[in-house]
């Protein structure tokens, strides 16, 4: 996948010699890719990403992958607190309410394999901004097609076993969420989890939330001890 080089001044070295082992997906929430490109390259804005994908499928690279772009902000994934130093950020041109364009998704599917291979990043560490900053960020939101990425081996989708009685055999939601990688208040984590894995779900936490979250934690634990803590 070739990208247009449009350098941003908003970057620095990765701290303590860190290498990227997470990919964070965002939406721009701006009127156009060009307006997002302008902001991401504006020194006063103090924000950037490694890549920007337009709705038409154009890909711009703003920061070299071995450098620390300023896209994630405050948050965590598992024990990673400085997510910027451990991640590659990809902004996708979308207003936050509309479906993501077919061409943008095709471009993302063309971009991700090379990044995953270059840095030996497993698909379970392709996450959304909302995953690492629940309660603070909501992108890429409920309209992003995570299942499509998972079908191509570029992210994950839960494989939930049939219900097993009694219900007490399923761990508490927050316990599984911690083992999977989420950090934050339970209601914020539930909203982020549902936006990604159960976008049609509403109301209080329920048994299906617990089952899906437990399945994710069992298969993709960032903290193998967390599920039993």
In a domain? residue 67 = yes
What does the block give as tokens for 27? 């939406």
Same domain for 31 and 137, yes or no, is yes
Residue span of the structural domain in which 200 resides: 167-228
Same domain for 174 and 104, yes or no, is no
Tell me how far the alpha carbon of residue 174 is from its chain's centroid: 19
Same domain for 134 and 96, yes or no, is yes
In a domain? residue 156 = no
Distance from C-alpha of 5 to C-alpha of 89, rounded to nearest angstrom: 15
Domains of the chain: total: 2
Closest C-alpha among 77, 49, 52 to residue 63: 49
Residue 91 CB coordination number (10 Å): 32
- Please report the sign of the dihedral spanned by the C-alpha atoms of residue 78, residue 84, residue 85, residue 87: positive
Same domain for 216 and 136, yes or no, is no
Distance from C-alpha of 52 to C-alpha of 36, rounded to nearest angstrom: 8
Distance from C-alpha of 158 to C-alpha of 1, rounded to nearest angstrom: 28
Same domain for 101 and 190, yes or no, is no
Residues ≥6 apart with Cβ < 8 Å to 15:
68, 82, 85
pLDDT reported for residue 226: 42
In a domain? residue 63 = yes
In a domain? residue 62 = yes
Question: Is there a contact between 91 and 33 (Cβ–Cβ < 8 Å)?
Answer: no
pLDDT reported for residue 165: 63
pLDDT reported for residue 160: 84
165, exposed or middle or buried, with CB in 10 Å at 0-12, 13-18, 19+? exposed
Same domain for 24 and 88, yes or no, is yes
The residue from 95, 122, 151 where one domain ends is 151
Distance from C-alpha of 155 to C-alpha of 146, rounded to nearest angstrom: 7
Q: Where are the beta strands (DSSP E) in the chain?
A: 4-5, 11-13, 22-27, 51-53, 59-61, 67-69, 87-92, 126-128
Per-residue pLDDT of the chain (229 residues; tens, 9 = 90+): 789 999 999 999 999 999 999 999 999 999 999 999 999 999 999 999 999 999 999 999 999 999 999 999 999 999 999 999 999 999 999 999 999 999 999 999 999 999 999 999 999 999 999 999 999 999 999 999 999 999 999 999 999 877 766 656 889 999 999 999 999 999 999 999 999 999 999 999 999 999 999 999 999 999 654 433 3
Q: How do 126-128 and 67-69 pair as beta strands?
A: unpaired
Same domain for 34 and 72, yes or no, is yes
Same domain for 12 and 97, yes or no, is yes
Distance from C-alpha of 139 to C-alpha of 133, rounded to nearest angstrom: 10
Same domain for 100 and 208, yes or no, is no
Would you say the pTM of this structure is higher than 0.75? yes
């Amino acid at each position: 996948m070739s990208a247009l080089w449009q350098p941003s001044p908003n970057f620095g070295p990765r701290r303590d010699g860190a290498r990227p082992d997470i990919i964070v997906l965002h939406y721009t929430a701006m009127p156009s890719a060009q307006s997002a490109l302008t902001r991401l390259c504006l020194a006063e804005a103090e924000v950037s990403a490694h890549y920007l994908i337009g709705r038409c499928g154009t890909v711009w690279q703003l920061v070299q992958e071995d450098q620390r772009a300023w896209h994630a902000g405050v948050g965590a994934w598992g024990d990673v607190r400085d997510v910027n130093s451990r991640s590659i950020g990809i902004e996708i041109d979308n207003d936050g309410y509309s479906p993501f364009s077919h061409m943008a998704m095709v471009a993302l599917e063309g971009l991700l394999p090379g990044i995953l291979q270059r840095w030996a990043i497993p698909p379970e560490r392709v996450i959304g901004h909302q995953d690492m900053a629940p309660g603070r960020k909501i992108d890429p939101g409920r309209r992003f097609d995570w299942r499509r990425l998972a079908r191509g081996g570029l992210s994950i989708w839960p494989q939930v076993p049939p219900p097993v009685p009694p219900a007490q055999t399923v761990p508490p939601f927050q316990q599984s969420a911690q083992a999977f990688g989420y950090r934050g208040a339970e209601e914020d984590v539930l909203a982020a989890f549902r936006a990604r894995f159960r976008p049609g779900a509403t109301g209080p936490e329920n048994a299906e939330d617990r089952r899906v979250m437990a399945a994710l934690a069992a298969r993709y634990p960032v903290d193998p001890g967390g599920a039993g803590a």
